[in-house]
Chain A
Amino acid sequence: DTGVSQNPRHKITKRGQNVTFRCDPISEHNRLYWYRQTLGQGPEFLTYFQNEAQLEKSRLLSDRFSAERPKGSFSTLEIQRTEQGDSAMYLCASSSGLAPGPQYFGPGTRLTVL
């Protein structure tokens, strides 16, 4: 059990560019969540996958955001046409079980949009 991993750890991009982040959950964890955290705030839920199915999306997930979890393993989060307001820490968390339970977070990807 190596924990949740995320890549890249930092990303600096110019406004209007597309970016993609990757999350590798803890092995055998069927539940995968994406959150966004800005300075001074708690993490805010973006989207949820159970295995390969995307079952829930927050209102925060605008049309410029898309997420996938092919084959129920790793997940990607893509932001198209980035805006300065997208600057934040993007966190991935995973958990296991038939029912919701404790979630374990990866180190996060810090996005800076110039």
Chain B
Amino acid sequence: QKEVEQNSGPLSVPEGAIASLNCTYSDRGSQSFFWYRQYSGKSPELIMSIYSNGDKEDGRFTAQLNKASQYVSLLIRDSQPSDSATYLCAVIGGSQGNLIFGKGTKLSVKP
């Protein structure tokens, strides 16, 4: 059974701080990793994809992947109250591309 684990939080950070969200996965063969943001009552929104070891930056977001440790993280710099949401980590779990999600980490950015 392939699994993705996330700390459910809530993670609370002050406005302007760096938020660090972490995720581990069980299948060493996983190749593709995604971070989705989900506001309460809304559907998941793709914010980052990462496929290679190392860092990938997109604006205020940085995804980090360490396949040896089976660990992927998301850093949000200069956190804003509008970043308050649940962040879902996902990996491709099957040959047809279906995603396996963690339960998500709820982030709260305090003004």
Cα–Cα distance between A41 and B8 once the two chains are bound (Å): 10
Q: Are A107's CB and B43's CB within 8 A?
A: yes
Q: Are B97's CB and A101's CB within 8 A?
A: yes
Q: Are A100's CB and B104's CB within 8 A?
A: no
CB-CB nearest in chain A for B4: A42
Q: Are B98's CB and A48's CB within 8 A?
A: yes
Binary flags per residue of A73-110, CB closer than 8 Å to B gives 1, else 0: 00000000000000001010101000111111111100
Any chain A CB within 8 A of the CB of B100? yes
For B, the interface residue count at a CB cutoff of 8 angstroms equals 26
Q: Are B94's CB and A56's CB within 8 A?
A: yes
CB-CB nearest in chain B for A50: B96
CB-CB nearest in chain B for A47: B98
Contacts of B84-99 to chain A: CB distance below 8 A: 88, 90, 92-99
Any chain A CB within 8 A of the CB of B32? yes
Cα–Cα distance between A43 and B98 once the two chains are bound (Å): 11
Evaluate whether A42 and B90 lie within 8 angstroms (CB atoms) in the complex, with A91-B43, A102-B49, A107-B42 already known. yes
28 contacts between A and B (CB under 8 A): A31-B97, A33-B97, A33-B98, A33-B99, A35-B99, A40-B103, A41-B103, A42-B90, A43-B44, A43-B88, A43-B101, A45-B100, A48-B96, A55-B96, A56-B98, A91-B44, A93-B99, A100-B96, A100-B97, A101-B32, A101-B97, A102-B34, A103-B46, A103-B97, A103-B99, A105-B36, A106-B43, A107-B42
